[in-house]
Amino acid sequence: MARLSDLVRPGSRIFGGIGGDDLERLFRCLSARRLRVARHEFLVRAGEPSDRLGFILRGAVCVIHNTADGRRTILQEYHEGESFGGGLTLRADDTLPVSIQAITDADVLIMSKSAALRPCARSCPCHVRLLRNFVSVLSNRCYRFQLRSIMMAQRTIQGRLLTYLRQHARRLGRLEFVLPFDRQALADFLCIDRTALSATISRLCAEGRLAVDGSRFRLIERKVGGAPTRPVR
């Protein structure tokens, strides 16, 4: 059987600088376990205890909020090599105000957040490094929420859609990409009506500003522009 540490690809921010046997020992300390989930399956629901830290080995998950009348808003998306659950609440005895749901079939590691935030008695270097990485991850999440705020500040459907697509392009460093969302999920993420979103996409395609095939989008622009084009996790 493969070790859990062998499943973690190099370059992950949360486990950066921790490798081999040290990572395996850390996983034992954090009571890490592997979990396979199907698309649309919930990993945790709003109101449940929050002492879970997740790491995505494969696939993607999203953070969602459902209103009392059943309307869904997708607040954030996380992909392979990213962690989730750590910044939603830092107190292990709190309950989550949101739910976490798989948007594709996914393979994740589930760990104890309280164990991650509380160094072991030996203060081993790998645990100290994990805490430093955790601060870096939270800083990156603040940046991503700022980007989302910029997107949500747009006053038109076209403005929100193009802002999101350009942000996605800058993060990946290319103008063509596959979004993790179907059309309804994209509308929920942008907080707009699906029919109006589809009409806007059709118009932008007709104007020659977008090329769309299912969830594959291509921005027809001369350059990505703005922020650095390297991927940001």
Please name the residue that has the structure tokens 């199907």.
Answer: 38
Residue 189 to residue 196: CA distance in whole angstroms: 14
- CA-based nearest residue to 72, from 215, 189, 198: 189
pLDDT computed for residue 184 by the predictor: 94
Distance from first CA to last CA of the chain, Å, rounded?
A: 29
Asked if 50 and 96 touch (Cβ cutoff 8 Å), the reply is yes
- Please give the structure tokens belonging to residue 135: 């601060």
Among all chains, which residue has been given the structure tokens 């993420």? Answer: 189
pTM: 0.79
Contact at 8 Å (CB) between 148 and 25? no
Provide the residue-wise pLDDT of the chain in tens; the chain has 233 residues.
578 888 888 778 899 989 878 999 899 889 999 999 999 999 999 888 878 889 999 999 999 998 888 788 999 999 999 998 866 555 555 778 899 999 999 999 999 988 888 777 766 788 889 988 988 888 888 898 899 999 999 999 999 999 999 999 998 999 999 998 999 999 999 999 999 999 999 999 999 999 999 999 999 975 545 443 333 33
Q: What is the DSSP letter of 90?
A: S
Strands 33-37 and 106-111, bridge-based pairing:
antiparallel
Phi-psi region of 117 (alpha: psi -120 to 50; beta: other; left: phi over 0): alpha
- pLDDT, position 230: 37
Tokens 């001369």 -> residue: 222
User: Which residue bears the tokens 């522009």?
Assistant: 225
User: What per-residue confidence (pLDDT) applies to 227?
Assistant: 43
Question: What does 131-146 look like in DSSP terms, one character per residue?
Answer: HHHHHHHHHHHHHHHH
Q: Which domains does the chain have, with CATH numbers?
A: 4-148 (2.60.120.10), 155-219 (1.10.10.10)
Position 1: which residue type? M
What the block records as the tokens of 111 is 């760990």
